[in-house]
Every structure is written in C-alpha cells, then in structure tokens.
Amino acid sequence: MKEKHIRELINDNEVTIVKKRKKTIYEKIIYYVFGTILSLIFVFPLIYMIAASTKSEIAIANDAGTIRMFIPDFAHFSSIFDNYATLFNGKYEVGRHALNSFIYAGITIVLNILINGMAAYAICKLRFPGKAFFNFIIMFLIIVPVESSIIPLYLICRSMLGFVDKFSILAIICPASISVFNIFLFIQFFSSIPKEFEEAARMDGANTFQVFLKVILPLSKPILATVAVFCFIGVWNDYLWPTMVLPKEAWPIQATLTVINSDPAAETGQKMASLVITSIPIFIVYVAAQKYIVKGFGAGGLKL
C-alpha cells in the first residue's frame, strides 16, 4: 500500500511538472508573438521613413499601398542619396545647422556636468545653512513645466542680460546648462558613494573641489553618461527656444527640420531624409551609452 501511494504521488508530481512546463511554453509563445507584433507596429514607420528617403516623388506615389513602400529604391542605386545631397548642398544647409546643434550640445553637456554636479555635491555631501530649503526647491521645480518659464526667461535674456541682441549663443547655452532634474539625478547617485573615499582624499590633502573633481566624478561614470545623453537629446530636439533667440543662420537642426517640412516645394523624399538625418545621432548616442544609463539609474536608486 505504501509503495502504491508513493507511486501515485510521484505520478501526480510528474503530471504537475508537465502542466507547468506546458503553461510556461504557452506563456512564452504568447509573450514573443505579442512582443513581435508591437515591435513591428513601432518599426514599420521607421522602415518607411528610411525607404521613402531614397525615392523620388513619382516612385513614392507608385509604391504607395504596396509592400514596395517599405523597400529602398535599389533599382536606381545611383540616385538613392539624391534627397540627402539636396538637403546638404541646397538652400536648406542641413550640414551647417547640424553642426550648430553639435556645438550647442557639446558645450551644454560639459557645463551641465560641472555646474549641476557641483550643486548636487554641495547639497548631498556638504553641510550649510538652508540645505533643507534647497532640497525642497529642487523637488518643487521638477514639477514646474518648462513652457511656463519661457516668456520670463526670454525677457531676462533680452532686457537684463542682452543675450538676444549681442550674444545670442549665450541665450542657448546658459539656460540649458542648469537642469533641476539633472541635479536630482546627481544627488541620488552621489548619495550612494561611500564617504570613506572622500575622507581618504582629504587625508591626502585634497580640498573640496579636488575631491569632487578627482574622486566623485571618476566614480560617477554611469550618471555622467546618463546626464550627457539627456542633455544631448534635449539640445538636439530643441526647437521653440532657439527660434526665439537665435538668428536664422545659427538655428539648430530641429528648426531647419521644421522649415523643410513646412515648405510646399520640398518633396516627400526630402522630408523623410531630413527625419532620418535628425534621428541617426540620437540613435547612435543612446545605443552607445545604453548600459551606462541603466547603471546610472540603478545605482541612483531609480527605476526606468
């Protein structure tokens, strides 16, 4: 009787294990099928954008509604980059405006890391009167929409500082160099760095700035990459503020993209090519720094 009971228990366990395995297999199938469908929904517009950027207006019209609309025009390979050549060599001067965006982004990234990093280090690691008040202000300003401060900021830059008339590039760089959200990210990360590193540096004679520059920053590569990516994307995608304070020849790439897409004379292929040009740098930067972004959020106690 005991042996029979044991065999029944073993058989029941085996049946249970088989059912669980089947359930797991079905769940994985549903997960991958559903994920593939969602991925295709998001990817197809990108594929169409790239394919249309290689075609003439006639080819786009002929391929509309067919599977060929998602395939680049390899049949006319010699003219596949004509739309891109028109954007760079024609009246739009995409190359010049893209260079402007890279310059603005590079300067902004460096200033963001230094200014916001030092502010976060002071709030996180140093003791001074009013520290709790500054913490409250940072948390409060995070929820304030940027759009609500555009008009006051423009008046300050034009009337008080004179940036708009004489030094318009400073009107782009200075406001973008200070970010309350980036200060918050730095604070979260710096709080996870053991204080023993700072104490060891101070015992070697380092002052506060040297501790920040030679100890804190080298230990903060993940959050530095995260802030750098956010700054680059923010400056690269900025449109409204630059068109308010910059002359047309100094506009960034997004302002030129808007001009191209609103121009009745621009062909569909040229518009798609301009979208590809503005998307590629963001894609490259994010892919290159993806692992650092995940580490930065994880070490800072945040979740993506």
| Tens digits of residue pLDDT in 66-94 | 888 888 877 777 778 888 888 888 778 88
High-pLDDT (> 70) share of the chain, %: 86
pTM: 0.79
Residues 133 and 65 in one domain: no
Residue 201's pLDDT is 83
What pLDDT score does 129 carry? 80
- Tell me, yes or no, whether 175 lies in a domain: yes
Structural domain contains residue 304: no
Choice among 141-155, 175-189, 265-279 with the minimum mean pLDDT: 141-155
Question: Within a domain: residue 174?
Answer: yes
Q: Say which amino acid occupies 160.
A: M
- Segment 184-206 shows an average pLDDT of 85
The answer on pLDDT for 253 being more than 80 is yes
Identify the domain boundary among 46, 80, 114: 80
Last residue of a domain, one of 80, 107, 122: 80
Both 178 and 249 in one domain: the answer is yes
- Would you state the pLDDT for residue 102? 93
Q: Are residues 172 and 33 in the same domain?
A: no
Domain identity same for 127 and 49: no
pLDDT, position 165: 59
Q: Is 34 within a domain?
A: yes
pLDDT of residue 173 exceeding 80, the answer is yes
pLDDT for 103: 92
Q: Could you tell me if 93 and 75 lie in one domain?
A: no
Residue 42 and residue 158 in one domain: no
10 pLDDT above the threshold of 80: no
Which pLDDT value is given to residue 62?
84
pLDDT grade for 150, boundaries at 50, 70 and 90: confident
Domains identified in the chain, total number? 2
Residue 205 belongs to some domain of the structure: yes
Q: Which range of residues forms the domain containing residue 55?
A: 2-80
Is 155 contained in some domain?
Answer: yes
**How confident is the model over 106-139, as pLDDT tens digits?**
999 999 999 999 888 888 888 878 777 877 887 7
Among 48, 80, 112, residue at a domain's last position: 80
Q: Verify that 36 and 147 share a domain, yes or no.
A: no
150 and 69 housed in the same domain: no
284 and 253 inside one domain: yes
Are 94 and 277 within 8 A, CB to CB? yes
- Same domain for 190 and 147? yes
Whether 114 maps to a domain, the answer reads: yes
Look up the CATH number of the domain holding residue 105.
1.10.3720.10
Q: Is there a single domain that holds both residue 70 and residue 93?
A: no
Residues 57 and 138 reside in one and the same domain: no
